[in-house]
Amino acid sequence: MDSLPFYFCQLLLLADSAATSLAITLWKHGYSSIVLIRIDRCRHLRRSIRTSASVDADICVGRCGHLRRSMRTSASVDADICVGRCGHLRRSMRTSASVDADICVGRCGHLRRSMRTSASVDADICVGRCGHLRRSMRTSASVDADICVGRCGHLRRSMRTSASVDADICVGRCGHLRRSTRMTNSAVTLFVTKQQ
């Protein structure tokens, strides 16, 4: 055990004990990163990503299938997304004091939106009988987002922020989360699976 890396020993300790939080310091090529992971009773997954001081993301996916994400990219986007079993989508955005939008799509397929833009947002919304929502946004050349919510309640989003994050998220009724992230040597990603 003494020959194992420090962080690996800590992971074993997490798996064998009732600890709910873990702080790890990783060293790579002279740079250090601190990763904080918290696992609560419901075994939710929380992930914190910081890439080149442009993205601060927190993801929580529980057994109930909820997705909560908070993003701040170069002080231009403040977004909060919550998708529950009912398939509702709520999003609040403020980009460089030019956009204040609130979108709610429920089972009834209603769409509510309030927007103020100073020639900085290109948005396309289509809500049909099937209740789908499609939106494409480009704000000051920093965010490219595509959201599609259908009857199944799936959420798909593709984001590229200042060439530092490439993410694809899909959340369906089964509560699955799929994400692919590519970071230019600016963050350390750590996954921890606690066996039942």
Q: Are strands 31-38 and 67-72 parallel, antiparallel or unpaired?
A: unpaired
Which residues form the domain of 171?
Answer: 59-194
Is residue 94, in this structure, part of any structural domain at all? yes
Residue 27 within any structural domain of the chain = no
Total domains in the fold of the chain: 1
Average per-residue pLDDT for the chain: 39
Assess if residue 76 is contained within a domain. Answer: yes
pLDDT confidence tier of residue 143, bands split at 50, 70 and 90: very low
- Asked whether residue 178 is domain-assigned, the answer is yes
Note the pLDDT of residue 196: 24
pLDDT single digits (tens) 9-18: 444 444 434 4
* Model confidence band, residue 180 (pLDDT cutoffs 50, 70, 90): very low
CA-to-CA dists, residue 50 to 64, 77, 145, 185, angstroms: 26, 15, 19, 11
- State mean pLDDT over 102-111: 40
- What pLDDT, on a 0 to 100 scale, did the predictor assign at position 146? 40
163 falls within a domain: yes
**Residue 45 has what pLDDT?**
36
